[in-house]
């Protein structure tokens, strides 16, 4: 199952609603993301404001999946394509 991704504008809008006093639970009922997801976005925004590093988990997962696919392809090529040499 693919993970649902949301635009930065959408995340920013929901974060601003939380900062304005709405709860993540009330927003989760009205919008699609879950309350824990909205809380994570709020925490990431707070870390960014405090100068901390923000990790985009979805981008990191995509990057790791791409690297895994590349390594699996390389392994398959090495396993099936290269004959053993005797010296």
pLDDT (0 to 100) of residue 87: 54
Residues 33 and 12 in one domain: yes
**Which SS3 state, helix, strand or coil, does residue 72 take?**
helix
| Same structural domain, 42 and 63 | no
Q: Are 14 and 40 in contact (CB under 8 A)?
A: no
- pTM beyond 0.85: no
Does position 71 have pLDDT exceeding 60, yes or no? yes
C-beta separation of 39 from 46 below 8 A: no
pLDDT digits (tens, 9 = 90+) for 4-51: 888 989 999 999 999 999 999 999 999 989 999 999 999 888 888 877
Domain that holds residue 15: 8-51
User: Do 75 and 40 fall within a single domain?
Assistant: no
Q: Assess if residue 87 is contained within a domain.
A: no
Is 1 among the domain residues?
A: no
- 18 and 47 assigned to the same domain: yes
Whether the Cβ atoms of residue 33 and residue 18 lie closer than 8 Å to each other: no
When divided into structural domains, the chain yields a total of 2
């Amino acid at each position: 199952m693919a993970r649902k991704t949301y635009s930065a504008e959408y995340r920013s809008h929901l974060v601003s609603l939380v900062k304005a006093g709405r709860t993540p639970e009330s927003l989760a009922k009205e919008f699609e993301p879950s309350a824990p997801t909205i809380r994570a976005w709020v925490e990431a925004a707070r870390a960014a404001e405090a100068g901390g590093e923000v990790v985009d988990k979805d981008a990191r997962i995509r990057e790791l999946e791409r690297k895994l696919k590349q390594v699996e392809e390389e392994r398959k090529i090495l396993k099936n394509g290269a004959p053993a040499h005797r010296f």
